[in-house]
C-alpha cells in the first residue's frame, strides 16, 4: 500500500514516518515544506517531496493521484497564530485541507484526516468527550482563539457530508496532546506565546528561565505518548470499521493540571541530569501570554472506548511519556521505548 503523508515534516508526521518505515509494510511518501525533523530518517520504502500545498496544488494533486491512502497532517497548531492571524488559520486549516479532500474525491482515494481534540471546545457538563455524542461548544467570535477549533470542526462536517453522499471514504483522528521526541521547536527563555506547553517548559528547564502558568495553570489536559499514537494510526488504517468515523486518540489516565505538569517535568529533569532546577513558576493571564482574543478551558478526558473496540489502548503513563520527551531534548538514549512502540 502506498501512503502519502501531507505534513510529514512536523512532530506527528516525522514520528509516524519513522514508525511506518520500520514496519516496512507500506511505501511511504512524505510531503512538506521542510525535512528538518526528518533528518536521519531513511529507508528503501520512503521518499520525500518538498512542496508547499498552498502554492503547489498541481503537484499535490498528482501525488494524491498516485496514492492508495492520503494522510493529512497539515495545520497551524499554535495558539499565538490563532490570536494574531485568524484568517491565515482558516485558509490553511479549512480551505487548503478541503482542497486535499476534494482531490481525494476526484481520484477515489481514502483520506485519514488529523483533526483536533479542540473541536469539543469548552463543554462544561460532559465528564468525557465522546466522539458521536458530546456537544461541540466554542467561545464567542471575539475570542478568535477558537478559530482553529472552528476551522477543524467545519472541515470534519464537510467530510461527514461527503461520506453521507458516498463521495469519500475518510477517517478522522482527534489527537489529545501527543508528546514525544521532536515535539515542537524550543524557544528562548522567557518567551511568551508560540509553541505549546512542553516546548515552553522544556526551554525553561534548559535555560533556567521562568515556567509560565497561563491563567494559573489550573487547566487540565490528557497527554498521549507519540508511540501510542503511532499504533493507533495503524489500527485505524487496517480496520474497515474506521471508515467514515471519527476517533479520539488519547490517554484519559494521564489527566493532569498544567501546574502539576511543571512540577513533574522539574522532577524528571532533576532525576535525568542530577541538577536541581530552580525555575520560578510564574502565573500570567492568557491575554498577557498569547494576546487579546485568547481564551482557554479545562478540557475533560477523552472517551476512547470506540477505538478500544478495534483493539487499541494506550500503554505509556504520564511520567514515561514526559521522561522520553525530555530525554530526547537532553540528547540521551531512550530506554523505555523506540519509535516503533516497543517497550
- What is the set of active-site residues? 148
What is the C-alpha to C-alpha distance for residues 47 and 232, in angstroms, rounded to an integer?
Answer: 23
For residue 15, what are the contacts with CB-CB under 8 A and spacing of at least 6? 180, 181, 182, 226, 229, 230, 339
What is the C-alpha to C-alpha distance for residues 88 and 81, in angstroms, rounded to an integer?
Answer: 8
State the Cα torsion 236-240-244-248 to the nearest 10°.
-30
Query: Using alpha carbons only, what angle is made at residue 176 by residues 31 and 159, rounded to the nearest 5 degrees?
Result: 60
Q: 27: which strand partners? A: 2
What is the C-alpha to C-alpha distance for residues 227 and 238, in angstroms, rounded to an integer?
Answer: 17
Interior/surface letters 246-281, b for 16+ CB within 10 angstroms, e for the rest: bbbbbbbebbebbbebbebbbebbeeeeeeebebee
Of 181, 202, 221, nearest to 341 by C-alpha is 181
Alpha-carbon radius of gyration of the chain: 19
Amino acid at each position: 500500500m502506498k501512503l502519502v503523508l501531507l505534513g510529514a515534516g512536523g512532530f506527528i508526521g516525522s514520528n509516524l514516518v519513522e514508525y511506518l518505515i520500520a514496519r516496512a509494510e507500506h511505501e511511504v511518501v512524505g510531503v512538506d515544506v521542510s525535512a528538518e525533523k526528518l533528518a536521519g530518517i531513511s529507508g528503501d520504502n520512503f521518499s520525500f517531496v518538498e512542496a508547499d500545498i498552498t502554492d503547489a496544488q498541481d503537484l499535490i494533486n498528482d501525488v494524491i493521484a498516485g496514492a492508495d491512502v492520503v494522510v493529512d497532517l497539515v495545520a497551524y497548531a499554535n495558539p499565538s497564530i490563532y490570536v494574531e492571524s485568524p484568517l491565515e488559520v482558516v485558509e490553511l486549516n479549512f480551505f487548503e485541507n478541503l482542497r486535499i479532500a476534494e482531490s481525494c474525491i476526484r481520484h477515489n482515494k481514502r483520506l485519514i484526516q488529523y483533526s483536533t481534540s479542540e473541536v469539543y471546545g469548552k463543554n462544561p457538563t460532559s465528564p468525557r468527550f465522546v466522539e458521536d455524542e458530546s456537544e461541540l461548544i466554542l467561545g464567542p467570535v471575539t475570542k478568535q482563539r477558537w478559530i482553529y477549533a472552528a476551522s477543524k470542526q467545519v472541515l470534519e462536517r464537510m467530510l461527514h457530508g461527503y461520506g453521507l453522499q458516498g463521495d469519500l471514504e475518510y477517517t478522522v483522528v482527534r489527537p489529545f496532546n501527543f508528546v514525544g521526541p521532536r515535539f515542537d521547536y524550543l524557544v528562548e527563555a522567557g518567551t511568551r506565546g508560540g509553541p505549546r506547553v512542553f516546548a515552553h517548559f522544556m526551554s525553561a528547564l534548559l535555560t533556567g528561565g521562568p515556567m509560565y502558568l497561563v491563567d494559573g495553570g489550573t487547566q487540565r489536559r490528557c497527554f498521549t505518548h507519540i508511540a501510542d499514537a503511532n499504533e493507533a494510526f495503524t489500527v485505524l488504517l487496517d480496520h474497515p470499521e474506521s471508515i467514515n468515523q471519527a476517533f479520539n486518540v488519547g490517554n484519559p489516565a494521564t489527566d493532569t493540571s498544567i501546574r502539576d505538569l511543571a512540577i513533574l517535568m522539574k522532577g524528571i529533569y532533576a532525576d535525568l541530569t542530577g541538577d536541581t532546577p530552580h525555575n520560578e513558576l510564574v502565573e500570567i493571564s492568557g491575554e498577557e501570554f498569547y494576546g487579546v482574543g485568547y481564551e482557554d478551558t479545562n478540557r475533560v478526558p477523552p472517551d476512547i472506548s470506540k477505538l478500544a473496540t478495534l483493539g487499541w489502548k494506550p500503554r505509556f503513563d504520564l511520567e514515561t511519556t514526559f521522561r522520553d520527551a525530555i530525554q530526547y531534548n537532553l540528547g540521551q538514549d531512550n530506554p523505555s521505548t523506540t519509535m516503533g512502540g516497543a517497550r
